[in-house]
A and B are shown apart, each in its own frame.
Chain A
Amino acid sequence: MESLFSKNYFQLFNFPAVYDIDRSVLTQRYRDMQGLIHPDRFVNATEKERRISMQLTALINEAYNVLKSPLARARYLLQLKGVDIDDSVTSKDIVFLTEQIELRERLEDARQGENAERALMQLASELQKRLMGLQLSLEEVFMGGSDEALVKAHRLYDEMQFISRLNDELDEIEDAFN
């Protein structure tokens, strides 16, 4: 049997390496695994066992975090399929670049506008919808296994990453309002 530490995140949770996974099954398996390996179950064990339990739990936590996040899961799956993701390279897609600039401007306008809180909420809900849409597109694209499909998935991932970051910035701005 293969060591748990050498399995990939999908294997750990007994899923095939696909993008579309059942969230509730994932959560249930996560809890079952925690029930077996969590350090609370090894309080009276030997030091070595306590350390392994801790490391294994950390691994399961990390795997769960990646698999439950649509963005992190896309990235992980792309890497698993051999796609090299370099965050320092900017997209060459002119349409997407133009859109990035537009969205940034909208964020600035919303922040400085008179009805800032409302405008920001509006933008936040648009971004949410956009993220949902991207997730569905990724599910579809990842179904096809061709190199072409992976290139497309990579592009969708880049887009999702940008929108997610913008969304995080929005959260931080909202934080400042509180």
Chain B
Amino acid sequence: MVLFQISEPGETKLQRQHHLAVGIDLGTTNSLVATVRDGHAQTMVDAQGNHHCPSVVRYFADSAPVVGQAAKDAAYQDPLNTIASAKRLLGRGVADIETTANKLPYEFSGTDCGMPFIQTVAGDISPVTVSAEILKTLMRQAEADLGGELDGVVITVPAYFDDAQRQATKDAARLAGLKVLRLLNEPTAAAVAYGLDSGSEGVHVVYDFGGGTFDVSILRFSRGVFEVMATAGDSALGGDDVDRVLAEWMMAEAGLSGEIEHSHLRRVIGEANRAKEALTTADSVSLSIETTEGSLWQSTLSRVNFEALIEPLILRTLRPCRRALRDAGLAVGDIQDVVMVGGSTRIPRVRECVAEFFEREPMVNIDPDKVVAVGAAIQADILVGNKPGDEMLLLDVIPLSLGLETMGGLIEKLVPRNTTIPVVRAQEFTTFKDGQTAMSIHVLQGERELVTDSRSLARFELRGIPPMNAGAARIRVTFQVDADGLLSVSAKELTSGVESSIEIRPSYGLTDGEVEKMLADSLLYAEDDVKKRRLHEQLVDSARLIEAVEAALKMDADGMLTNKECVTIKAALVALKEKQQGEDIALIKAAHDKLERATSDFAARRMDIHINEALSGKLLDQIVD
């Protein structure tokens, strides 16, 4: 009951207590965790004093996986069991990654859920599990530093992540045992980090060229509200591609074929990465790689030649920039500043191209590798409730259009890209055959008009439509996208009321049941640990509910509740309090759910009435102004 606690400060102790919250930048190459301490957002360091945790996990046959630098160091000697860049595989299908996969040095195995699993000595591992390991490492690091269990996290995702990729990220967090306050788009996070620093009103562009993805977002910041006007990008373009292009060039020069061993390929890519980084400051760099015969190929590469090699990749980032400007209805001249995010923006030629395109020097004051985590930490601090008076608000958009397959393999768009979320849209369809009793619904995401060019998110079937003449049934399909950008779809036949709904767990993801199962027999946790954590979560949740209900009763029981309703609620309240004394999670949960159900109508009534009142108050204020 957040809204009404604001009007009655000091009523509750939970409200004033400082909650532990962090922001996590789950990157393709490196991941970071940040938190707000004494009003300042800063990245946290591990035991060795490092801010970055390489997003690399090494698996072993009979011991727990190793995450971070130690894993990265082993990439050459144990390439098949050392997973890097798992983010590129999140929410992707086997066919999706074929082009990427034959360049990634792993062995894949297909699965039922459409997601590629990676074959390791520890068994077949899903990219979701790999990401969960990284999240868990960061979580432990943060909890050790802050001295307690985290109350919530904000995890950043590339703005251009589609629904399956977002869902996979959230599943990874769930596997790691984290409470996700919000999935936040990376460029939006960066803007928050900059915006609060400079407090600048106006239109900002965030150019985010990371390890594996490219995003551009245009945001307007005005009176405490960040409004994303447009976003565009390429979820398969990043610094990894720069390394790859350079590695391919070296291999061609050295006469190496594509058919080299994984460990050898790793070393070549490693050399390419080293050269790229050196060329940020140096004018030329010397290169050396082994040939297949075991001799050494050596050469030098000038910055000019390097820039020529990667120019096509940089140009690919400018196309989304153009499109985002157009979607926002803006010209280059309207832009106040350009913020650079992501390691790849350290490349001098990238900065030059961006400066040319936007006709101004880009801003690089905040470390481009840390700015996303810092913004996420600021947002996490607000969402968890540590800054109750803060007016800052983020209004984000959906990056890619959502639609349904209609006849002839065409797509009917229900939610166009860059629509502000959350959004609910409905559309009516009808049957096209006499006596048709079922209708299959195919949900797609993307900008193209043909089904074959778009990304399939899910298929489901609405059955039990009463037989009618063609065109007589009225099927309403409703799309709902929440504040995390996640989609759920439901369908209903209006004349009969037959209903069917799914959460989009699609084409390339894990079902709820699969995540539950992975959680249950996961090696991620010791059994006790899981139990303790779940009990703690449940107790905190229930304490919050009890407190909210008591406050609500005190405020609104008279007038909004009948005697009977009041008695039911109070009984459920007492029952939950009783169960809270014990340690049986299932019993507490059942009592919790019962109280939620008992107060459901009451909550809806209160929300409606109080928001109505608050809005009238606001509107009156304006008239007085």
Contact = CB atoms under 8 A, between A and B. Distances in A.
Q: Do A and B bind each other?
A: yes
Interface of A: 1-5, 14, 25, 28-29, 31-49, 52-59, 61-62, 64-65, 171, 174-175, 178
B487 to A, nearest CB: 13
B259 interface: no
Contacts of B420: 61, 64-65
Contact of A45 (B1, B483, B611): B1
Contacts of A61: 419-423
B393 A46 contact: no
Contact of B622 (A28, A48, A58): A28
B422 A46 contact: no
Contacts of B612: 1-4
Interface string B581-596: 0000000000000001
User: Which 7 pairs from chain A and chain B are nearest by CB?
Assistant: A58-B424, A39-B483, A48-B603, A43-B383, A58-B422, A52-B607, A14-B619
Contacts of B607: 49, 52-53, 56
A85 B197 CA distance: 50
B263 to A, nearest CB: 41
Interface string B72-90: 0000000000000000000
B611 A36 contact: yes
A132 to B, nearest CB: 14
Contacts of A175: 323, 326
Interface residues of B, number: 51
Contacts of A2: 612
A74 B208 CA distance: 39
A48 B423 contact: no
B600 A36 contact: no
B561 interface: no
B615 A48 contact: no
Given A4-B612, A45-B1, A54 B422 contact: yes
Interface of B: 1-3, 152, 181-182, 222-225, 319, 322-323, 326, 382-385, 391, 393-395, 419-425, 480, 482-483, 544-545, 548, 596, 599-600, 603-604, 607-609, 611-615, 618-619, 622
B225 A31 contact: yes
Contacts of B385: 43-44
Nearest to A56: B611
22 contacts: A4-B615, A29-B622, A31-B223, A31-B225, A39-B422, A43-B181, A45-B1, A45-B548, A46-B1, A46-B545, A46-B548, A46-B596, A49-B603, A52-B604, A52-B608, A53-B607, A57-B422, A58-B422, A61-B421, A171-B326, A175-B326, A178-B322
Nearest to A35: B393
A54 B483 contact: yes
A34 B395 contact: yes
A48 B607 CA distance: 10
Contacts of B3: 36, 41-42, 45
B619 A38 contact: no
Contacts of B596: 46-48
Nearest to B382: A40
Contacts of B603: 46, 48-49, 52
Contacts of B419: 61, 65
Contacts of A34: 225, 393, 395
B180 to A, nearest CB: 10
Contacts of A40: 182, 382-383, 393-394, 483
Contacts of B622: 25, 28-29, 32
A43 to B, nearest CB: 5
A43 B152 contact: yes
A62 B34 CA distance: 35
A39 B482 contact: yes
A58 B482 CA distance: 9
Contact of B483 (A4, A38, A49, A65): A38
